[in-house]
């Protein structure tokens, strides 16, 4: 946070100078960056500069449909198969449980 070098805001509550959108992917990238910055500060090193992140979005429509966008190749559009396979089954709940090592 500007003026508070040891206070971090991530996700929807954050207004980044890079204009990140209020979405899940930027929130996860900001969280990873904040963790690196906190570790650097704890080692007495300067916090790395946040350079922003691209957008990535997956919007399932029912269990077998959806539309999505990935940041590569200038914005790659995804359709029913890719989005339903990646997110439609559990809306990333399984992925987040793994990241959090939840049983």
Ligand X SMILES: Cc1cc2nc3c(=O)[nH]c(=O)nc-3n(C[C@H](O)[C@H](O)[C@H](O)COP(=O)(O)OP(=O)(O)OC[C@H]3O[C@@H](n4cnc5c(N)ncnc54)[C@H](O)[C@@H]3O)c2cc1C
User: Contact between 27 and ligand X (CB under 6 A)?
Assistant: yes
> What's the min distance (Å) between Cβ of 91 and ligand X?
9
| Site residue total, ligand X (CB under 6 A) | 11
User: Contact between 57 and ligand X (CB under 6 A)?
Assistant: yes
User: Contact between 67 and ligand X (CB under 6 A)?
Assistant: no
Q: Measured at CB, which residue is nearest to ligand X?
A: 11
Q: Which residue has the tokens 């399984």?
A: 94
User: Contact between 65 and ligand X (CB under 6 A)?
Assistant: no
Residues between 6 and 25 with contacts to ligand X, criterion CB under 6 A = 11-13, 22-25
> What's the min distance (Å) between Cβ of 100 and ligand X?
13
Spatial CA neighbour of 15 closest among 33, 35, 5, 1: 1
Please report the sign of the dihedral spanned by the C-alpha atoms of residue 81, residue 83, residue 76, residue 100.
Answer: negative
Q: Which residues, 6 or more positions from 89, have their beta carbon under 8 angstroms from its beta carbon?
A: 63
> What's the min distance (Å) between Cβ of 45 and ligand X?
26
Spatial CA neighbour of 31 closest among 59, 53, 3, 46: 53
């Amino acid at each position: 946070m500007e003026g508070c070098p040891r206070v971090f805001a991530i996700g929807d509550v954050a207004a980044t100078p890079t204009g990140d959108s209020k979405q899940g992917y930027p929130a996860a990238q900001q969280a990873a960056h904040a963790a690196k910055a906190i570790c650097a500060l704890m080692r007495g090193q300067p916090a790395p500069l946040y350079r922003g992140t691209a957008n990535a979005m997956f919007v399932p429509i029912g269990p077998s449909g959806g539309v999505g966008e990935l940041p590569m190749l200038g914005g790659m559009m995804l359709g029913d198969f890719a989005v339903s396979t990646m997110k439609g089954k559990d809306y990333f709940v399984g992925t987040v449980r793994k990241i959090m090592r939840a049983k």
